[in-house]
Structure 1
Amino acid sequence: MSKTVLVVGASSGIGKKLAEQLVQSGHQVISASRTNPQIAGITHHQLDVTEENPDFSFIPEQLDGLVYCPGTINLKPFNRLSADDFKYDWEVNVLGAIKVLQASFKSLKKSEDGSVVLFSTVASKLGMNFHSSIASAKAAVEGLGKSLAAEWSMHGIRVNILAPSLTDTPLAEKLLGTDDRKDASNKRHPIGRYGKPEDLAQMAAFLLDTKSSWVTGQVIGVDGGVGGLKP
């Protein structure tokens, strides 16, 4: 059955791969981001979630799915992070999600199986050097998602959170810039490789589907085993 899905942050990485997969599966995809992803078959709207009052008039009367993909990577020792660094990570990852969620709520309520997918990071659970700013912001996303999963369950809306490890996206380009870095990143993951955008996109697509209709309030590690295994 065709669904109407809003993907915020479909201009690159995981969001773009997901939007492409959804279109190929016959769904109606609405893209919202600062940059047009240029994907055939989707409807794109300009959106900057860091604005004080973004324009959400493009959201349709009914939404079956919402995926919030924007993220940040600002890896520094804690003592070198400024208050503005923390504020920016919070603004993009948490406040941006809140704005989109509040604007989409009425439309999601009109779906028979509304589903929301948010993104965290394995660092929120694992504890990793130089991740204090992004890990704290993404931990807040996890708390937000689980709270909404409880609150919105009465409306039939499911909310789940994906927590990836290092994934080959434009955000991670500096971390995977050389063959040596790529090899080291592969070795850090029990499954033997770092992530690809399609790894996360496929799980997000499953959570949007009615096949996952009994799954809500979950933080799901899609991380090559790094978050729970020590071989």
Structure 2
Amino acid sequence: MSDVQGPAVGPQDLKGHNALILGASSGMGAACAQTLARQGMNIVGVHFDTATEQDRVDALTAELRSHGVEVTFHNVNAANKRARAEVVEELQGQLAERGVRVLLHSLAFGTLQPYIAEADEAINPRQVSMTADVMAHSLVYWTQALHSAELLRSGSKIFAMTSAGDQKVTASYGAVSAAKCALAAHARQLAVELAPAGIAVNLLRAGVTVTPSLERIPEHKALLATAEERNPHGRLTQPEDVAAWIAQLSQLDSSWLTGNVIGIDGGEALTS
């Protein structure tokens, strides 16, 4: 029997609810953590950083805690099966009362190499598989684990970050583009299968945004210049633009907005 009720009445207060952010230490993930913490949400972050990045991560967690919320960060590989199981097992005890209201999949680790090049420069099968596993398939595995642990409830929202790269071609983006296409297929399937439980699943297509992951793309300077010139707002998308809409959408108990690719780009796609 479906858990879905009739239309929700007005936005809900996010204070005391829990957000799980995959890729929480920088870029979209960090901005989302900051915005949701200001709304009173407890933050569980999963990130994968070296010791040289620890001071930056410590500063972020201190900032989040300054809003009076509970903050737990796990420095593990989000695509690793054992790490995922250990985090979810801990969350079963930590978040059992209210579950996970928001799951944000913002993992942006993949190989940026062309398909056709000299043998030592072309992408190889291991790199293609790793890129798809981290940036696409892991959404399915985390959702399965959280659902099995009964941490996803009616009103929960699952968001995954995509990009215009799922339709457009740049020289080094092939494996990431393929992963984004797979991510879209996964999100549609999860949206349909989780609809009876009142859980919404949507992709967010941000405009071109200055993030560490974008700066790893060899062609990123040209992408930035073109996007800023063509965006109707006359500026680039910022991580905070995306985080603000995640917060807005997360306030609604309704799961009627599901299975979509939502453009948060200031109209960039209309003029590109």
What letter matches 1:120 in structure 2? T
* Match for residue 44 of structure 1 among 68, 73, 97: 73
Change (3 A) 1:108 1:216: farther
**How many Å apart are 1:31 and its aligned residue?**
1.3
> What secondary structure sits across from 1:150 in the alignment?
helix
For the 8 Å contact 1:109–1:155, the answer to whether it is kept is: no
Change (3 A) 1:174 1:73: same
**How many Å apart are 1:181 and its aligned residue?**
7.0
Instruction: State how many pairs are aligned.
Output: 229
1:129 aligns with 2:170: yes
**How many Å apart are 1:218 and its aligned residue?**
0.9
4+ aligned runs moved over 4 Å, structure 1: 107-110, 174-182
For the 8 Å contact 2:46–2:78, the answer to whether it is kept is: no
* Match for residue 43 of structure 2 among 15, 25, 29: 29
Moved more, 108-117 or 58-67: 108-117
Matches within 5 A, 1:30-109: 30-35=44-49, 37-38=57-58, 39-40=61-62, 41=65, 42-54=71-83, 55=86, 56-59=88-91, 60-61=95-96, 62-72=99-109, 74-79=111-116, 80-106=122-148
**How many Å apart are 1:207 and its aligned residue?**
2.6
Moved more, 141-150 or 168-177: 168-177
* Match for residue 17 of structure 1 among 31, 56, 81: 31
1:4 aligns with 2:45: no
Change (3 A) 1:194 1:84: farther
TM-score (norm 1): 0.86
> 1: CA distance between counterparts of 2:178 and 2:234?
27
What letter matches 1:69 in structure 2? S
Identity among equivalent pairs (%): 24
Residue aligning to 2:119: none
> What secondary structure sits across from 1:116 in the alignment?
strand
Computing the radius of gyration from Cα coordinates, the structure with the larger value is 2
1:214 aligns with 2:251: no
Residues 73-106 of structure 1 deviation map (CA, whole Å, 9 limit, x = unaligned): 5444331222222112112112322221111114
Change (3 A) 1:229 1:161: same
> 2: CA distance between counterparts of 1:84 and 1:17?
31
What's the Cα RMSD here?
2.6
Moved more, 108-117 or 152-161: 108-117
Residue aligning to 1:166: 208
> 1: CA distance between counterparts of 2:164 and 2:221?
23
1:202 aligns with 2:233: no
> What secondary structure sits across from 2:109 in the alignment?
coil
**How many Å apart are 1:159 and its aligned residue?**
0.6
> 2: CA distance between counterparts of 1:166 and 1:224?
10
TM-score (norm 2): 0.74
